[in-house]
Amino acid sequence: MAFTIAIDGPAAAGKGTIGRALAAHFGFAHLDTGLLYRATGRRMLGGLDPIEAAHSLRPEDLEADDLRTPDVSQAASRVAAIPEVRQALLDFQRAFARRAGGAVLDGRDIGTVICPEAEVKLFVTASDAERARRRHIELTGKGHEVTLDEVAQDLRDRDARDSARATAPLKPAEDAVQLDTSSMTIEEATERAIAIVTAAQG
Ligand code: C5P
């Protein structure tokens, strides 16, 4: 039986961490849809036309170890504003969302465009400072040399572009439950999300 958990929100709010934890808890499959746009953006930086890049994505493109750098993040957000790129990635995401056995998808437009019929919709946020702090720790922990200011600027630019674009902008679905993780630990945020999903399962 299909059961979809849609998680949307701005960059580095904790969507991926919560998504992975929910998938593990409920035994659902998880898709970080940002990776599709990051891999497309990375291929564009390598010289490919972005629409062509989105149409010909391969599983190994999602495993490159530099997909989270600010350069690739910016490229992802630029290709994500191209309607034909979004269209190329749509069917795969929709099929994933309704696969048997349950699915968790995190991104920007999961509850609004990819799967408006999702049984649970979460809109995860955190303050700008907290999001920059978390992403900076994540990147430097992986050995990337970036400053806190550079990370903060990347998040600001992307949120502005992602919210302003005409196609599938970042915004909460009308029936999304808002979850502000600014002052929560990972465990607290995960517990809260599990409680919301459990309540929806009836
Ligand atoms: O979630 P993440 O930060 O990895 O996403 C990278 C970029 O991909 C975002 O800034 C956004 O432009 C784009 N994206 C999107 N729709 C999604 C997921 C990501 O437009 N569902």
Would you state the pLDDT for residue 9? 97
Tell how far the Cα of 193 is from the centroid of ligand 1, in angstroms: 21
Residue 6, helix vs strand vs coil: strand
For the CA of 73, the nearest atom of ligand 1: 6
pTM here? 0.96
- Total count of residues recorded for the chain: 202
Please report which confidence band the pLDDT of residue 69 belongs to, taking 50, 70 and 90 as the band edges: confident
Report residues whose beta carbon is within 6 angstroms of any ligand 1 atom.
11, 33-34, 37-38, 73, 76-77, 80, 107-110, 158, 162
Tell how far the Cα of 202 is from the centroid of ligand 1, in angstroms: 31
- Per residue in 124-158, pLDDT (tens digit) is 999 999 999 999 999 999 999 999 999 999 999 99
Tell how far the Cα of 119 is from the centroid of ligand 1, in angstroms: 22
Would you state the pLDDT for residue 132? 97
DSSP of 87-126: HHHHHHHHHHHT-TT-EEEEESSIIIII-TT-SEEEEEE-
Residue closest by Cα to atom 4 of ligand 1: 34
Residue closest by Cα to atom 12 of ligand 1: 77
Other C-beta atoms lying within 10 Å of the C-beta of residue 84: 13
Q: Which domain holds residue 129?
A: 4-201
CATH number at residue 166: 3.40.50.300
Scan for tokens 């600010």, then name that residue. 70
Would you state the pLDDT for residue 107? 98
- Per residue in 20-29, pLDDT (tens digit) is 999 999 999 9
* Dihedral of alpha carbons 18, 24, 25, 30, sign: positive
User: Distance between CA 15 and CA 106 in Å, rounded?
Assistant: 6
The H or E element that residue 36 is part of is helix 34-45
Q: Closest by alpha carbon to 109, among 64, 153, 166?
A: 166
Q: Which residue of 77, 104, 165 sits with most ligand 1 atoms within 8 Å of its CB, as the best mutation to test the pocket?
A: 77
Tell how far the Cα of 73 is from the centroid of ligand 1, in angstroms: 8
AA identity, residue 37: Y
For the CA of 37, the nearest atom of ligand 1: 8
Q: What are 75's two structure tokens?
A: 């490229």
Judge whether 14 and 189 are in contact, CB under 8 Å. Answer: yes
Q: What total number of domains does the chain contain? A: 1
Mean pLDDT of the chain: 96
